A = this chain, B = another copy of it.
């Protein structure tokens, strides 16, 4: 997993914009269409490759395959049908804290990947620990939640570049999700969910004009 310097196929600026405009929060998925295994594998890998603060990766991604569990989650998601109709459904969970043990695990993994001894990474370890210690437990959880939203952003954008539709889902009962998924006291808690698959032909939202504030309202130059 090197940061490959090799030439790769880029999108043009025009392709990128077409991709981002094609994307929308898909409400109605075609329940008969499944994401092919190799494409799904790339999307899982895009989750794994998500950048995070200090590289800590304070998350677990739960891919919900059991239809019965998906049905139970739907009833805790304002009954939104994407929960069960989309090809794939992922619950993105955040680590509820950043402990010395979390930091150790990451330092050890990084040392392994870089062929170093963990001792060589002691200065970095001290810096991460120092940073985490300035925060309350709640602030560390909130910090981790924000990292999970990088994963959500990368997942939706990556999916769009592959022609895969997504629907980010915040309107879920995180507490109920945690209960159904056995996350209580696990050190991880539901942050947000994402349905992935293919838009149904009749999804009226696909034809609704995309609405955003004008660029001048959200981008400023200093």
Contacts and interface: CB of A to CB of B under 8 A. Distances in A.
A165 B170 CA distance: 30
Contacts of A55: 211-212
Copies in the complex: 2
Given A46-B20, A51-B156, A163 B10 contact: yes
Contact of A57 (B146, B206, B212): B212
Contact of A8 (B22, B50, B113): B22
A86 interface: no
A158 interface: yes
A154 interface: yes
Contact of A63 (B2, B49, B219): B219
A136 to B, nearest CB: 12
Contacts of A209: 1-3, 113-115
The 7 nearest A-B residue pairs measured at CB: A153-B153, A113-B211, A13-B42, A149-B149, A150-B153, A157-B157, A3-B24
11 contacts: A3-B22, A3-B206, A3-B207, A13-B39, A53-B168, A66-B222, A91-B222, A114-B208, A114-B211, A149-B150, A149-B153
Interface of A: 1-6, 8-25, 38-39, 41-42, 44-51, 53, 55, 57, 59-66, 69, 91, 105-106, 109-110, 112-115, 131, 142, 145-147, 149-158, 161-163, 168, 170-171, 181, 205-213, 215, 218-222
